Structure 1
Amino acid sequence: MEFKQLRTYDEVLKDLKTKRRSKHLLMGNGFSMAYDKNIFSYNALYDFIEKLKDPVLSKLFEAINTKNFEQIMRQLDNFIEIAIALGGNDKLVKQLQAANELLQKSLIDAVSSLHPEHVFEMPEEKSKSCFNFLSAYLDNGEKVFSTNYDLLLYWVLMRNESKTANDGFGMELLNPGYHKTGDDPEYDDLYWGKYKDEQSVFHVHGTLPIFDTGTEIEKEVYKNRKYLLTNIKERMDKKDYPIFVTAGDGEEKLKHIYHNRYLTFCYENLCKITGSLITFGFGFGEYDEHIIDAINKAAKRGAQSGEKLFSVYIGVYSEGGLEHIKSIEHKFLCKVNVYNAGTANIWS
């Protein structure tokens, strides 16, 4: 099948409705790039970090010669392993480890700095269009998974006051007897866990407003009359960084995921979905093996029947994207379908 013959997004939805099959959504960086590729592309992040003129990072980019952060991080991991295995001096190993940490923190800084400042910078029509797209899942009790770090998904759901989106976070009332004393109600911070059994939105690789305090998973909110992104940046200025999976290959990403209970919960929910999975803006590159493995777990490793994931519908934008999916189709243990992602019209 050629790219021009692919089904549209609406045809995919119609097909699944006819089959009476539940559907879930997995979104990758293409979701954010469809909003504004000048902000959320690898090139934009690379250009931001390059402008920092950090001597270590400059040498790193020059030596590895790529704008793919995952590839750079993976190669750094390899360099560190080789240096240790060959008895490299401690100074070199520490320099490589420091460069790796610096790159990860710089990536987070880049995402937050390039990001639109507040929710109302997003045009109303784009916000509403995206909300309608997401509601086709959330309003039917289906799940939305994202591997993006930015605030776009959070903004859309918040601005449109979604009644069905649940990210598992909640507040506890600190003074339950406030109505008897005439005081205003007081709440603690927004912590994850209270509503996790009803959770329908999952940030598999973390996201800007979610932090691990060591004892709690906390979500940053609008407070002190400051924009959400301002509060996030203030925490980052104090070296308090959001939960981000910035490791190199799929194995390293999975290790990072399983070292955090929130990420583990999100990933394991992806491993348990049933029906069909629709992906948008997710390329299934060489560093995404952990996501393919989650899909295969949901498919019960190819079991012929039972409650399981039966199929995945992967959105592509070009003939090259289609050929790539054909080349990795054998890795999936469920039926693979491909559709034209350009017909989804999420933001318009």
Structure 2
Amino acid sequence: MSINDLMSYQDVVTYLHGKNRTKHLLFGNGFSMSYNSGIFSYNALSDFIEKIDDELLNQLFASLNTKNFELIMQQLDSFAEIAKIFSSDPDLVSKIEGASDKLKTSLIDAVKALHPEHVFTIPEEKCKHCFSFLQSYLENGGFVFSTNYDLLPYWVLLRNKSAVAIDGFGRDLENDGDEFIPDESREYSELRWGKYKDSQTVYYLHGALPFFDNGVDVIKETYTTQHYLLDNIKARMEKKEYPIFVTAGDGRQKLTHIMHNKYLSHCYDKLTCIEGSLVTFGFNFGEYDTHLIDAINKAAHYGKKSGGKLFSIYIGVYSDDGLHHIENIRSRFKCKVNIYNAKTLNIWGH
């Protein structure tokens, strides 16, 4: 069998509609590559770690056995403060701070190289076309899961103001009290995750660049009239605040990172209890994605007695090699596996 013998995306949609079954979406880097393969590539944001020409940083990544840049940045910040107190060697502090600055600068450069400059750079027609694709899941009771940490899906949903695209973030009234407060005098917090988590429909399984963990709350950075989103993200990083996202590592390392963050663990837990069918696009279930296969298998057993479980998964492939890969790992899934031709899905209206 070749990719040309597979069902089309429209075949998948038509079949699930006939079954009256809720469908959910899981997409990976292929979603962004289909927008522009010239600037988006697999693991582009994590690959920069391996390309940093700094002996100290390379030794640090190796000794901690992690590519979790958020952890490394925090370790460097803490180490620098400790060194100021306990070390009489000024060169040591300078060396640590220099490594920290180099890592931070490299990340910012990688982010900016990876993205369009801002949300309005995405052509209106492409933005609307992509939104229609995402909305077809959200408006019919489904959830959207992303393993990407780039800004494309965030921008598309923000620009089109979907009433059902809920990421769980909201603002709290800071000067709430017994007395009446007129609207113009009300003070609101930053966007904090949790206020709308019970009605959440969009889940970033590996985090996203606008999300920051301040130790108490998970905060979402926003676009402002003064600065574009990437500029605000850069400003936070310069204040030693770092985006939440799960970078390279095997499935176990990724799951460990996920379970130590309340936002990420909530998103993962939601994937483990979805019902109906799951459609994937631009996600190849590679050797480092075992944690997501485990989550899907949990969903296949969730509510088994009541019938409210995940019945099937529809995996999109782009090539015969991709088809053969999914055929080879089909037995790892505990629900019915169907494969469709991902080339028949035009997300961005090219």
TM-score grouping bracket, smaller chain normalisation: 0.7 to 0.9
Matched residue, 1:146: 146
Question: TM-score w.r.t. structure 2 length?
Answer: 0.81
Q: Report the CA distance shift for 1:128/1:302 in structure 2 as closer, same or farther (over 3 A).
A: same
Q: Give structure 1 regions of 4+ aligned residues with deviation exceeding 4 angstroms.
A: 43-50, 57-60, 71-74, 102-109, 175-182, 301-305
Whether contact under 8 Å (1:302, 1:333) holds in the other structure is no
- Tell me which moved more, 112-121 or 155-164: 112-121
> Deviation string for 1:215-261 (max 9, x for gaps)?
00100012361111100011122331100111410000000000000
Q: Report the CA distance shift for 1:58/1:36 in structure 2 as closer, same or farther (over 3 A).
A: farther
Whether contact under 8 Å (1:296, 1:332) holds in the other structure is yes
> Deviation string for 1:56-93 (max 9, x for gaps)?
39989xxx9xxxxxx9959xxxxxxxxxxxxxxxxxxx
Matched residue, 2:131: 131
Matched residue, 2:21: 21
Give the counterpart letter for 1:205 in structure 2. H
Whether contact under 8 Å (1:57, 1:103) holds in the other structure is no
What pairs with 1:1-348 in structure 2 (closer than 5 Å)?
Answer: 1-42=1-42, 54-56=53-55, 73=67, 106=106, 110-175=110-175, 183-223=184-224, 225-300=226-301, 306-348=307-349
Whether contact under 8 Å (2:272, 2:302) holds in the other structure is no
**How many residues are paired up?**
315
Give the counterpart letter for 1:140 in structure 2. N
Q: Report the CA distance shift for 1:37/1:132 in structure 2 as closer, same or farther (over 3 A).
A: same
Q: How far 1:12 moved relative to its partner? A: 0.2
Q: How far 1:43 moved relative to its partner? A: 8.0
Whether contact under 8 Å (1:7, 1:338) holds in the other structure is yes
Matched residue, 1:82: none
Whether contact under 8 Å (1:112, 1:233) holds in the other structure is no
Give the unaligned 5+ runs of structure 1. 65-70, 75-98
Q: Report the CA distance shift for 1:107/1:304 in structure 2 as closer, same or farther (over 3 A).
A: farther
Q: Report the CA distance shift for 1:320/1:58 in structure 2 as closer, same or farther (over 3 A).
A: farther
Q: How far 1:45 moved relative to its partner? A: 5.1
Give the counterpart letter for 1:194 in structure 2. K
Question: TM-score w.r.t. structure 1 length?
Answer: 0.82
Q: How far 1:301 moved relative to its partner? A: 7.7
Q: How far 1:38 moved relative to its partner? A: 1.5
* DSSP-derived class of the 1:337 partner: strand
Whether contact under 8 Å (1:26, 1:145) holds in the other structure is yes
> Deviation string for 1:163-200 (max 9, x for gaps)?
11000000113346897657344311100000000000
- Tell me which moved more, 218-227 or 282-291: 218-227
Q: Report the CA distance shift for 1:5/1:112 in structure 2 as closer, same or farther (over 3 A).
A: same
Identity of aligned residues (%): 60
Q: How far 1:292 moved relative to its partner? A: 0.2
Whether contact under 8 Å (2:6, 2:341) holds in the other structure is yes
* DSSP-derived class of the 1:297 partner: helix
Q: Distance in 2 between matches of 1:298 and 1:24?
A: 12
Matched residue, 1:89: none
Q: How far 1:44 moved relative to its partner? A: 5.6
Q: Distance in 2 between matches of 1:30 and 1:144?
A: 15
Whether contact under 8 Å (1:147, 1:204) holds in the other structure is yes
Give the counterpart letter for 1:217 in structure 2. V
Whether contact under 8 Å (1:45, 1:111) holds in the other structure is yes
How big is the alpha-carbon RMSD for the aligned residues of Structure 1 and Structure 2? Answer: 3.2
Whether contact under 8 Å (1:138, 1:164) holds in the other structure is yes
Q: Distance in 2 between matches of 1:188 and 1:45?
A: 30
Matched residue, 2:96: none
Q: Report the CA distance shift for 1:269/1:139 in structure 2 as closer, same or farther (over 3 A).
A: same
Whether contact under 8 Å (1:38, 1:44) holds in the other structure is no
Q: How far 1:300 moved relative to its partner? A: 0.4
